[in-house]
Amino acid sequence: MWGGRFAEGPSAIMREINASIPFDKALWRQDIAASKAHVAMLAQQGIVSSEDAAAIAGGLDTVASEYEASGVPENWDLEDIHMTTESRLAELIGPAAGRLHTARSRNDQVATDFRLWVRDAIDHADAGLEALQKALVTRAGEHAASIMPGFTHLQTAQPVTLGHHLMAYYEMAARDRSRFADARARMNRSPLGAAALAGTGFPIDRHMTAAALGFDGPTANSLDSVSDRDFALDYLMSAAQTALHLSRLAEEFIIWASQPFGFVRLPDSLSTGSSIMPQKKNPDAAELVRSHSGRIVGCLTALMITMKGLPLAYSKDMQDDKPPVFEAAGLLTLCLAAMTGMVAETTFRTDRMRAAAELGYATATDLADWLVRQANIPFREAHHITGAAVKLAESRGAALDQLPLAELKAIDARIDERVYAALSVEASVAARASHGGTAPVEVGKRVAEARAALGLE
């Protein structure tokens, strides 16, 4: 490829460190598509003959069929997917293959291929997130009124509904999808035609190739076109945020499946056993989602560090841009599938959840709110009164609604028998009917809106 400049070939070490075909062969579909768009434009502009263009296009189709059937061969002397394809094309059609590289460089070629790959990865991630949302919405609808304890600091705080809890993750997934959509819109410009770094003297039509590849238009600066990897970082940032959300959801299932909680029975298909303890049912899929999130964040960090000090335009450092993106995309696909299956197939033990919601004085805030509404007491004073009631209940080993009225009145004479109607967990969740609250009626509204947005109605 570049032997005319050098008297000697590369050393074995240089050959090994320089070759990217072991990983960039994943770009072969995008490389074929971009090459076909490029040669069609060259013919349209009269830069190559229609006969040569037809031969090149037909040869590329043959190469694609071979890759599809047998995979991409790894000849490290050819370095990368671009030269591997061009070399095979030359074997098939002869010298005309050499015209394909007219008015382009491997710099704009790989930038184009990689953008196309990342764009596909974004679409795949969005589909995975949509499937997760559908699973969450379906289960939330089933449990819009199922009561469970809500936690802060992993301490019982207030009763909520399981449907409300699951819909919190629906909202996270919605933000994840919006981040991927923003990244896709921002990166959808074609660098093809920027050549090595300065553009080309051939009368190319970059708008034609951009349209053929589904881009909104060509990039505006040739230097930026070949050196930009913001699109890959945007993808990884969106993937990392999604992974953090999946990790939080996985952690919930891990905790809920533990015996002290017993809130869920995980599906056998996403659990494992122990080699020595036959009673064990381990939440390994969820634990690996939790672990994989760290690896995805690591992929983002790796590419950020690679790019942080590179001058314009292209540097060989950027060959290392693809492995972290490929790794993150594979891990994200697995994590989305695992958590979607877990949400869809887990058995929620709502009896255990409700029993837990009645512990820990979860309705203490409802007592304080009742004092504000019914006795016209300032909240801070009501908070103090309620604290005294909780302390008494704790000393008796009783729930708040089990304290005799006389003992409550001894704490504050303004408490009367109406208070008991506010102290049940059902009354607590029903009272929180503010927009976005945990009341079953509000959860039902949000589930209906989400189902409509997802096309489930």
Residues forming the active site: 153, 274
**β-strand 347-348 against 264-265: which pairing, if any?**
antiparallel
Spatial distance between the Cα atoms of 348 and 121, rounded to a whole number of angstroms: 33
What tokens were used for 46? 């009269």
DSSP letter at 235 equals: H
Spatial distance between the Cα atoms of 434 and 88, rounded to a whole number of angstroms: 66
Q: What is the DSSP string of 32-49?
A: HHHHHHHHHHHHHTTSS-
What tokens were used for 345? 């197939």
* Residue 78, C-beta contacts closer than 8 angstroms, at least 6 positions apart: 1, 21, 84, 87
Question: How many helices (DSSP H) and strands (DSSP E) are in the chain?
Answer: 18, 4
Q: Are residues 208 and 44 in contact, defined by beta-carbon separation less than 8 angstroms?
A: yes
Surface-to-core class of residue 404, CB atoms within 10 Å of its CB (0-12 exposed, 13-18 middle, 19+ buried): exposed
Surface-to-core class of residue 298, CB atoms within 10 Å of its CB (0-12 exposed, 13-18 middle, 19+ buried): middle
